[in-house]
Amino acid sequence: MVTTPFSDNIVNPSELRKNQAHWLGMAAASPITVTYGNYKLAILNREKIANLYRENYYLELGMKLCISIRVAGAGEPLPWMKHLNAKEKIEFTNELVEGISEATVTNNWYKVDTILGDWKATAETLGNPEAMRALTAKRRPKSEIIPLR
């Protein structure tokens, strides 16, 4: 069974005003709902909701990547992936899914951002013929190098 973020305490504005310190302290740990007419307003920890949004974004991206690899013609969720071959796409997706799995436990998303940045740079380099020629050119022996001065 899944606990939703809003299986919380529900209070009315009068109760919130009367015991403000108590309810705001509770909201630091888990969401509370304040009823206001027909509205139900949530008070929750800003860092926790930011992490939930980040987690949702990366999990959705990870699922789209997995689908794009499994289903032919599904398209690529990241435009720069067109420069990766099939093996590289699988390697990237596996690395990203592993990073996302770790981050959902640790709430440290830096590694996921790094994985995305590194693979994007790799793909963009692979898609740049001039850069690839420079990177794959055979090096000349030092005896053949002519100093500029």
**pLDDT, tens only, 111-139:** 999 999 999 999 999 988 887 777 777 76
Q: Is the distance from CB of 129 to CB of 83 less than 8 angstroms?
A: no
Average pLDDT, the chain: 84
Per-residue pLDDT at 55 exceeds 50:
yes
Say yes or no: 91 and 129 in one domain: yes
Structural domain contains residue 112: yes
**Is residue 13 domain-shared with residue 27, that is, in the same domain?**
yes
Q: Is residue 78 part of a domain?
A: yes
pLDDT band at 65 (very low <50, low <70, confident <90, very high): confident
d(CA 120, CA 122): 5
Q: Are residues 54 and 88 in the same domain?
A: yes
Q: Is residue 142 part of a domain?
A: no
- For residue 93, pLDDT over 60 is answered with yes
Taking the model in full, what pTM does it have? 0.68
Q: Higher model confidence: residue 32 or residue 70?
A: 32
Boundaries of domain holding 34: 9-44
Mark whether 69 and 21 lie in a shared domain: no
Rounded Cα gap, residues 28 and 102, in angstroms: 24
Residue 73 and residue 31 in one domain: no
Is residue 96 domain-resident?
Answer: yes
Is residue 87 domain-shared with residue 131, that is, in the same domain?
Answer: yes
Locus of tokens 């500029």: 148
Domain count, the chain: 2
